[in-house]
């Protein structure tokens, strides 16, 4: 018989029992928030045949053989594709509290298994959804009303550079002036992300939550392109105390455009020698059938709880972190 030896104290939970009771109270508050708005709760599979193609997000793969008749699958990084299939089937506005999984760093903001709150509002654009997220944050965290700045305004304010019009060399030279010295081949978005994470992110959302919206079109992911300015996508993120808490979109409904984006992701994976993944054809069929105009967001519940309970790490609000699982 195989015996897995562990240190004597790893049987204990990461968070204390008082924190776990507070966690349960916050989860109940979240459910009440959506009940009051007639948004109903759904459950979708965590184990699926396909997963996200985004080269910056690495899924956990389940190898073939754990059941004879079951092919290899993926633990989901988000319930997004399945929830949009429900929207296309006529569900109306929905939310979900669930586990998600990513091959990611482990630290005070990250655990390979984490809890997501994801919801979709039919008939909302990204600005309407930002208002509802602001209401949720005020309800759970007692925050001040949120501030809103475009991605362009944030870069102009903190680094005095226009991220939509500057040249690649402008970003490289700015990074050098900011003592960001990294070797390798990086594209425009890589440099924007480096400048943002190293120079800007930690400054955001200290007085009130900050919504940063209208990301460069090259970072659209699953968001619509702004019809009045094709340089930007209708995507947003929210920050509190320098922590990214949520990522949302005015959702792309065009199946052909979404397939093209997936294929570009796979090309990038090939170029960077990243494991290829299958495209989710069920999701694309749902888009082709017809996704209603909607906005959606994924919010990190463990980070929300860390802020709500005034803890310094998500480890203090999770029952068992991966090293104790």
CA angle 90, 92, 93 (to 5 degrees): 150
Q: Tokens for 7? A: 């240190």
pLDDT in tens, 114-166: 999 999 999 999 999 999 999 999 999 999 999 999 999 999 999 999 999 99
pLDDT in tens, 189-206: 999 999 999 999 999 999
Give me the pLDDT at residue 125, please.
98
- Cβ–Cβ < 8 Å for 129, 296: yes
Give me the pLDDT at residue 208, please.
98
Query: Between residues 61 and 21, which one has the greater pLDDT?
Result: 21
pLDDT band for 7, please (50, 70, 90 cuts): low
pLDDT band for 6, please (50, 70, 90 cuts): low
Specify the DSSP element, H or E, that contains 180.
none
CA angle 320, 63, 80 (to 5 degrees): 65
Other Cβ atoms within 10 Å of 271 Cβ, number: 10
Give me the pLDDT at residue 3, please.
58
pLDDT band for 310, please (50, 70, 90 cuts): very high
Give me the pLDDT at residue 184, please.
77
Q: What average pLDDT does the structure give for the chain?
A: 94
pLDDT in tens, 225-275: 999 999 999 999 999 999 999 999 999 999 999 999 999 999 999 998 998
Domains of the chain, first to last: 12-146+208-324 (3.30.930.10)
Percentage above 90 pLDDT, the chain: 86
* 3-state SS assignment for residue 89: coil
- Angle, helices 301-308 vs 126-141, to 10°: value is 40
Give me the pLDDT at residue 68, please.
59
């Amino acid at each position: 018989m195989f015996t897995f030896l562990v240190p004597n104290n790893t049987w204990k939970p990461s968070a204390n029992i008082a924190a776990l009771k507070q966690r349960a109270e916050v989860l109940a508050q979240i459910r009440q928030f959506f009940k009051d708005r007639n948004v109903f709760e759904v459950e979708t599979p965590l184990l699926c045949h396909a997963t996200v193609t985004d080269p910056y997000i690495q899924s956990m793969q389940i190898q073939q053989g754990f059941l004879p008749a079951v092919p290899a699958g993926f633990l989901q990084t988000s319930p997004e594709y399945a929830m949009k299939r429900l929207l296309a089937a006529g569900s109306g506005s929905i939310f979900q509290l669930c586990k998600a999984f990513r091959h990611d760093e482990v630290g005070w903001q990250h655990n390979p298994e984490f809890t997501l709150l994801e919801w979709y509002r039919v008939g909302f654009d990204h600005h309407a959804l930002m208002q509802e997220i602001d209401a949720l944050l005020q309800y759970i965290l007692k925050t001040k009303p949120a501030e809103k700045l475009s991605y362009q305004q944030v870069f102009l304010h903190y680094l005095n550079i226009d991220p939509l019009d500057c040249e690649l060399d402008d970003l490289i030279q700015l990074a050098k002036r900011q003592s960001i010295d990294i070797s390798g081949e990086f594209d425009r978005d890589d440099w924007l992300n480096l400048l943002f994470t190293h120079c800007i992110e930690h400054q955001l959302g200290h007085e009130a939550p900050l919504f940063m919206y209208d990301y460069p079109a090259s970072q659209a992911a699953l968001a619509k392109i702004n019809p009045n300015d094709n340089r930007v996508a209708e995507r947003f993120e929210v920050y509190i105390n320098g922590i990214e808490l949520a990522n949302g979109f005015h959702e792309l409904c065009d199946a052909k455009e979404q397939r093209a984006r997936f294929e570009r992701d796979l090309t990038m994976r090939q170029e960077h020698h990243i494991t290829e993944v299958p495209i989710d054809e069920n999701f694309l069929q749902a888009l082709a059938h017809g996704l209603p105009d909607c906005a959606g967001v994924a919010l990190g519940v463990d980070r929300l709880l860390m802020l709500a309970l005034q803890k310094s790490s998500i480890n203090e609000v999770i029952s068992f972190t991966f090293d104790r699982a």
